[in-house]
Amino acid sequence: MDTTDLAIDGMTCAACVSRVERVLSRVPGVTQVAVNLATERARIVTENHPDVPALIAAVKKAGYGANRIGQAPPHKDDRLPLACAAALSVPLLAGMVIPSLMLPAWAQFMLATPVQFVIGWRFYVAGWRAARAWSGNMDLLVALGTSAAWGLSTWTWIATGHAHGLYYESSALLITFVLFGKFLEERARRQTGSAIRALMRLRPDTARVLRAGVETDTPIASVRVGDHVTVRPGERIPVDGIVIDGQAGVDASMLTGESKPIEATTGTHVAAGAIDLDGRLVVETTAIGAETMLARIVRLVENAQASKAPIQRLADRVSAIFVPVVLGVAAATCVGWLVVGAAPGVALIHAVAVLVIACPCALGLATPTAIIVGTGVAARFGILIRDAAALEIAHAVDVVAFDKTGTLTEGRPRLVDVVAFEGERDAVLGLAAALQSGSEHSLGRAVREAAPNGGAEATAFRTLPGRGVTGQVGGRALAMGNQRMMTELGIVVEPPVGDGTVAWLAETGTNPRALGYFSFADMPKPGAKQAIDRLRGMGLKTVMLTGDNAAAAQSVAIALGVDSFQADILPEAKGAAVAALRGAGAVVAMVGDGINDAPALAAADVGMAMATGTDVAMETAGITLMRGDPALVAAAIDISRRTTGKIREGLIWAFAYNVLGIPLAALGYLSPVLAGAAMALSSVSVVANALLLKLWRP
């Protein structure tokens, strides 16, 4: 499967979105299409290599513009047409408000006609394209409504010769209000993408590369992995890399949401976009271009903003039939007024009001604008949401399941006790350290750190997930792991009294036996208890899932106030435990950071991965938390609730506006001018309401 993004020009409402999706889905090879009105982009998933010219041709045949991302035409500046329309319409408005200022019929005609057919020509073009394809959109409704008002006025003037009973101000002011609404809407929509633009500005265009002791300013595209890059105080770090010389405070708040600077010294990993605060650093490049953390963050945010939330499907279904229904209602309105004895002009004006007030602009903007703002503000605080579905599901979560090690605890267990069954304590510790020489597990690192320097290294090393490790040390076959592993090896051990994590070292040759055991302690993360308390205060149940022994798990669960826990479970059993919670009717979020958490993250309704963990966990999860701070879990659920609330408010407003407005217009309580103003206000208010999410703080 290949994914292609196109910039779409000329969409004005939800009906346009439905039409563009429909024509793109008919192109051979296309399997999925999502069109976003707020970003004016289409994301197309195709089998094999996409036929981009065919995709662009299909969109253009439907009456819209299409270009590859980066080749899109600049946004048209609507200020001059809007100013001209306003200047020509104001004298007509004055005559409507103050009868003594009413202009002669010929003057009204001279003012309204340029607005109708020059400034408003765009509505005719777009409306005709829609009608030709047996479809409808906002432009068609505006073109029909204003043409009816202009045509009726011209016919009345020719037939009667006087200026009374004309509706030139309706046609001109309608176009002016629509243009003004689109102008405000466009300005507001540009603000919705401010977060992604801020992220894209973080990476410098050049890097200072150090070669043969000489610093050379080099375009960022020419930097390669392994290059040494120097960064001076106050500059942004241009690449992902490891500090090989120097010391400085580094501000990575725009990437992780962490306001406190980190202290970067030799061996510290730093990311592109972070700011060197107070010292010169030499960084060895480990990732460039699309592989940097900054690029991955931008990609995740863009993917989320381009995706379509499940709730949007309702608006799509409605908009697909909306315009034809409105045309039918307008025709019925006109006939109904004629039947009750109204003059043809009055009947037609009421039908015009129906056409105008029913434009489905707000319907198409409610969901995408809220998603864009919500995902953008979340990214500012270190919460990366992969897609709109994860954002929408997270608001309904009622159970949060946590991995223990590295998620609720520091993930850096310390070796607190060694008990030897055979030989000296240091000899057993040395064997264990040699066996763990090839391990990246946190317990293995703790053993190596506690053992004397030097010693043999293991051969034939193997990791058994959820159990332990095996290998050869000095010709001896050894295994180190939990009680489950010992039982599988046929070695009987009794867990010591205590609440720490325990691992046994055993020889597995001709005489399998335990050589000793090791006790570890892993402290809860600072703020973990407050994070659990916050979730419980939000009405959520918390569960801890761990492969650790029951005593260690119980100690952490009691200290943090977790509602329940399951211990001694394998990685695949974590996934089954999450599935069981879902089977009981719960909406489950799973929070983890390691490879062994991937099955549970995939099994949950929404997975949340700590970015301090593995890439596998991050790729499996719907939400990535850029800091290893459990407090971000509550923040992610909160921003999901706020964003979903804004989506619902926007959709309710859009539906209620039409449900109330159409009958009022049909019954004659709304003039076309008021209908046009209300239509413009509805779109602007939906976007402005979504922009309030920018005020959100964790």
CA 51 to chain centre: 27
Report the distance separating Cα 201 and Cα 192, nearest Å.
16
**Phi, then psi, of 396 in degrees rounded to 5:** -95, 0
Q: Tokens 């239509």 sit at which residue?
A: 679
Question: Beta strand 414-420 with 513-521: parallel, antiparallel or unpaired?
Answer: antiparallel
Element (H, E) at 435: helix 425-435
Tell me how far the alpha carbon of residue 313 is from its chain's centroid. Answer: 18
CA distance 239 to 237: 6
**Residue 584 CB contacts under 8 Å (≥ 6 apart), including other chains:** none
CA atoms of 214 and 97, how far apart (whole Å): 75
- CA 448 to CA 444: how far, in whole Å? 6
Cβ–Cβ under 8 Å, residues 422 and 428:
yes
Alpha carbon of 390 to those of 255, 313, 582: distances in Å? Answer: 20, 15, 16
Spatial CB neighbours of 70, under 8 Å, sequence gap ≥ 6: none
Q: Which two tokens stand for residue 319?
A: 């908009």
Q: Are 309 and 218 in contact (CB under 8 A)?
A: no
Q: Which residue has the tokens 């009816």?
A: 148
403 is catalytic: yes
Count of C-beta atoms within a 10 Å radius of residue 487: 12
One-letter amino acid at 79 equals R
- Distances in whole angstroms, Cα of residue 210 to Cα of each of 233, 249, 284, 285, 376: 16, 21, 10, 11, 36
Q: Are strands 214-219 and 206-211 parallel, antiparallel or unpaired?
A: antiparallel
Token pair listed for 698:
């964790």
Q: Helix or strand or coil: residue 677?
A: helix
Query: What counts of helices (H) and strands (E) characterise the chain?
Result: 24, 26
Q: Are 472 and 460 in contact (CB under 8 A)?
A: yes
Computed from CA positions of residues 282, 283, 284, 285, in that sequence, does the dihedral angle turn out positive or negative? negative
Calculate helix-pair angle for 168-192, 361-380, nearest 10 degrees: 20
C-alpha span between 40 and 274 (Å, rounded): 30
Which one from 240, 387, 403, 522 is the annotated catalytic residue? Answer: 403
Give whole-number Cα distances, 298 to 120, 153, 193, 197, 254, in Å: 38, 53, 12, 9, 12
- In the chain, the N- to C-terminal Cα span, in Å, equals 37
Question: If residue 414 lies in a helix (H) or strand (E), which one and from where to where?
Answer: strand 414-420
The full length of the chain comes to 698
> Quick one: tokens of 326?
């409105």
As given in the structure block, the two tokens for residue 56 are 């662009």
Catalytic positions: 403
